[in-house]
Amino acid sequence: MSGVYDFTAQTMRGEELSLAQYRDQVLLIVNTASRCIYTNQYSGLQSLHDRYHPRGLEVLAFPCDQFGHQEPGDSAQIETFCTTNFAVKFPVFEKIEVNGPHAAPLFDYLKRAAPGLFGSRRIKWNFTKFLLSRDGARVQRFAPRTAPETLRPQIERLLAS
């Protein structure tokens, strides 16, 4: 696969969705969890969505249970949690793995496109963020502790280009 738009993802309803539908959008792709120290970042992600979605930002959340069993719920529980606690309106996809032999191909691609510290390809924790340009060619990686609000300057630059 050559780019992010070549991948598909499972919606919470179990439907296969082509990421090609997000072509020409700035994408913020995040692995998430409901019981993580960073779970409150859902608020910041929703704030970014509210502010920049009309200009072309798509926030895409991918729940993952690989870090401390912090996303134990099924799709219905995850969806209810996100909408009830954080009024999430951006897409939250089916729970996936981001590391190891069963890692979602999308995340294998993102890890190759934007390695972590010292060239590491592993995702170290929940709420690792990948910011992609409209053409999907430029990918930036941000650590879990990076608050979504601090990404505003990078998002604005990408939206303007």
Q: Of 4, 30, 36, 57, which is the active-site residue?
A: 36
* 131: Cα within 13 Å, side-chain hemisphere: 22
Q: Report how far residue 78's alpha carbon sits from residue 95's, in angstroms, rounded to the nearest whole number.
A: 9
Identify whether 36 is a catalytic site residue: yes
User: Which distant-in-sequence residues (6+ apart) come within 8 Å of 126 by Cβ?
Assistant: 31, 32, 33, 36, 38, 39, 64, 67, 70, 71, 144
Query: Looking at the annotation, which residues are catalytic?
Result: 36
